[in-house]
Structure 1
Amino acid sequence: MNLRVPLFCIFLLLYLNNNADTPVKIRRICVSSINNDIYFNPSSDTCGGYFQYKIWGRIGSFGQFFLIDSIPFKGASQYTHIDANNGGTKNWSYYISITDSCGPDYETRSDTVLVDRTPPETVFLDSVSIDRLTNTPYIGWTMNRSPDFSYFKLYSIKGVNTPIFPFSKDTFYIDTRIGSTPAAEPLRYDLSSVDSCGLETVFELNQHVSMYLTNSWDTCDRKTTLSWTPYIGWNAIRSYCIYRQKESGEYELIDSVSPPQTTYTDTFTLGTRYHYFIRAFKDAPGRIISSSSNSVLLNTRYRSEPLNSYLSVVSIDQPIEENTIIHIYNPSEEVSKYAIRWSTTLNGSYTDIANISSANQNKTQYEVVIPFSTNQKYFLATAYNACNESFPVTNKSRYSSLTAIGHELKNLIYWEPYFTWNTGVNYYNLYRGTSDDNGIVNYEFLISLPGNDTSYIDENLPSQVGETGICYYVEAVQNNGDINTSIEKSFSTHGCAMGTPTVFIPTAFLPYGVNKTFRPEGRFIDYNRSRMEIYDRWGAQLISLNGIRAGWDGKDSNGILNTQGVYYYKIYIQSTNVREKEKVFIGFVTLLN
């Protein structure tokens, strides 16, 4: 039996299929303060007749929906339910129906949708890694697969948690901000996801903290110690791998350590430049996830060992002769200290006497001052480098001793040649002095002599000679040509020529006049050891003086000034020349007042 469908019916069916209502689809419903925003896809209905959207809603999961509002505009895609949450957040659900005039008058409706209060799924950071060439942080993570995911926020956890990477769907970030300093401190980051309603996942659930690598080194042991902060953000770390670069070569893996160890010691060669960084590997079977630390530099250099230091001067601090002065020349070598040693003979046993620190002083010449002693004649020094390794200074040195001998009307002076300088002595300056009333010797330049002379005869002696005799010392002056560009000088000990005392005793004095005291004058008188006794005309002793430098002021032993008259004295003169015997002088002196 053949069934024939009228052509009119076929066209009517096609027309109805092409013009039927397309159900509206609610995309999301978001809370906006006390309102609810409803976002939907507009209907693709092509009917040109009457059209409207009807917004239905209810509070809670049960009960009847009621009509909230209607929208006559077919192209609408959003509706705001005003005051939906007035008085507090409410659990609203909605659907939308469509009414048009095409064909039969009927409605189609969307699915029922609840207000969106659930943030998107949480995506954690994969790693925070530092680029070893630029020391720039690289942060990476995976894509969020939530249907209504909108964008990521990356936070730098330092002080105020401010997002540094907002409103993007990228899955990596290069932190080139000025405040990003992975070579100075560990850096802390966290990530959150935001959906189309602005709902954000809770961050600070799984922060990631970069490794911060530092190094210290000991050039004496030739070892460097690497220390780093642990990587934070993974459940477990399989290992830390240590990478090293020599000069401009490639980085190479030199070793690995297991957590919780975060230090490593490596040996190095002086004069070589090294870079290091650490790579942490996550314990994740089937995946390779790693994080690199910042890189650190170890720039070593060769040490200049103190092989060429030498004693440049041993001298006496004339004219006071209280100290021995020693100069050490250091031709730009690294020295931590010098140890000074002395001996009584050139090739004898040397004993420590002084140390001088030269660490971080960056000088080429150092001075040591020690109290003068005739026993401490010869000196040498030992240099120590920064590692306290000793390097003997090759030369030995001494000061020159001078001797002066009085012989009738001339003095013979001779001294030891000064031998410290490689270039030798250019000339000697001879100085001569006599003591004043207080026993202080005042020196004056006498003559310059060639560097190969070591003696001199002084025939033009001064008429006024103090108690110490006539004293001399020489100054040795260095020849040019030493690597030490300055001209060094060395002073000898002094020597004094003694003779037989000559004594002049006044016959009168005036305590309140010019000659206020009665005192013998002359040459080679030892005023400290000489004595004087004063008697009246009847032989009674008025005063006895041990040491006559101040003389007799005319007073008795009670401090009372005697009357004018003639007094008897007995003076015991001791010579500054110990070989001379004591001489006694007896006579009279007139006291005027």
Structure 2
Amino acid sequence: AALNWNAMHEPLLPGSGVYYRIMMHNTAEPGFTVVDSTMDTHYVMPVTVCRDTLFFQIEIDDDFGCVSKSNVPSMLFEDITPPPMPTLDSVSINPFTGEVILGWGISPAGDAGGYVIYHVKDDINDTLDKLYGAGNTSYADLSFDPCSENRSYALAAFDTCGNISPGSYDIPQRTILFNEVDFNPCTMANTLSWTEYINMNPALAGYRIYLSVDGAPYEILASVPAGIVIYEHEGLGPGHTYQYFIRAFSDGDAVTSSSCIRELTTWQYKQPLANSIENASVEDSEYITLSLLPDTFAYVPFLNLYRSEEASGPWELIAELEPQGQEELYYDDLSVDVNSQSYYYYSSLIDSCGNEVLASGHMRTILLQGEKSGGQMISLGWNAFEDWPTGVNAYEIYRAVNEDGSFELAGETSGSTISYEDDISMLSGEFSMLRYVVRALEDETAGLYSWSNEIFFEYAPKIYLPNAFTPGGQNPVYKPLGNFAEFSEYRLDVYNRWGELMFSSRQFSIGWDGSIKGREAPLGVYVCIINYRSNSGESNTLKSTFVLVR
């Protein structure tokens, strides 16, 4: 209030006082009270009312006990000046209690009466609470879970007259929302992500990531600059509990803001422990059947099967199989030429993380080859079967006579011998073809075996009639020789030079021993006539002479 008045006399009269008393009262208390005194004729005084009519009067005394008083002017006074807008220092979460703590500086307004806390969301400012007392400069928000959502806050101050400052709505500050930790068991890494802290004052400088492992004290794991809100923590071990919180910091570390704590216990997929190819065998001389033994301890989504023509590769992926928990898988490889070469195979497993692991050994199939050796021998050779854990115990050689004949065991070699000479001179009957196949045996019980391809040799039927024989000698029985199989309508007749029948047989295995009715036949020339029907149904007659020698 600025008061001005005139002096009663210029200069004041002798005996007049020199001090003017400033008197005032309000509407609630009508009696004047002394506010101050002055020798001047003007006075400025502060008024600390919210809204009231004030009455003023000036008084001056003299030496004679008289009091001179002025008129009584009045004026309505009203406080309409709000406090200055306060600014939040920080909005932070106490990581260990989960409380959201807001902090700010005390209002510089002398008549500050308290503060209003706002929740800012989608441009709507909801009053969260009102604090009385200018010295209350912090607030704990317990109304929500700061680990599941974040909130933005603004602040205003009010004075004792109820005037409210502008709110800090345009520069709200927001809690850090620390997202759930994303654990990758394949890379054994935790991905941390959080929301940006906004409107920090002084400006945001970055974030520090704090870590505790298995309950140990927290330590700084890493620091990232402002604008980076993701971090990958690598090199983790399985079965450990990792706890984290994020702390934003300003330039000079004047202000900080923390997040809530996130926790995760790491684990690891079961890893496959075993993988092997149990067997590979040529079937019907056309394709290869494989039996595979994938791991059943761990989840194996796929098994890759590879093939090569050489031990050193290159390897071709020929199948991607889904084990689905089966202990044994079977696969028929139809895109092979088993009669021209052997093949190598190996398998590998795809684990739960998509990694290719546990390659098996390289298993090799058997390629059988052979050739005629002289007139009465067949030379067979094959490559060693490879990759049984205990190796090959033995090889069995099977032979079949003619195209429709059944295979029978012709011979056997040790597991280290990969060749065989077959003497066919003792084969009886007419034949046009000999077929061979080899079988590798893992052990004596033939628990596992692997067949080779089938090879064959063709023959034109031939019958040889000896021109002499010596009973009891090197050729003790007279009968035909040659490459024979069983045939029908066979007959052998022996005549002397006068056409008398000496001997007759309808069995190829029975020949003439040089006797007649139990007595030795005389030396000399005899005639042999053979009649037979071949496998093709053709009737044949052979006639020859021979000499009986003693």
Q: TM-score, normalised by structure 1?
A: 0.44
**TM-score normalized by the length of structure 2:** 0.47
Higher Cα Rg: structure 1 or 2?
Answer: 2
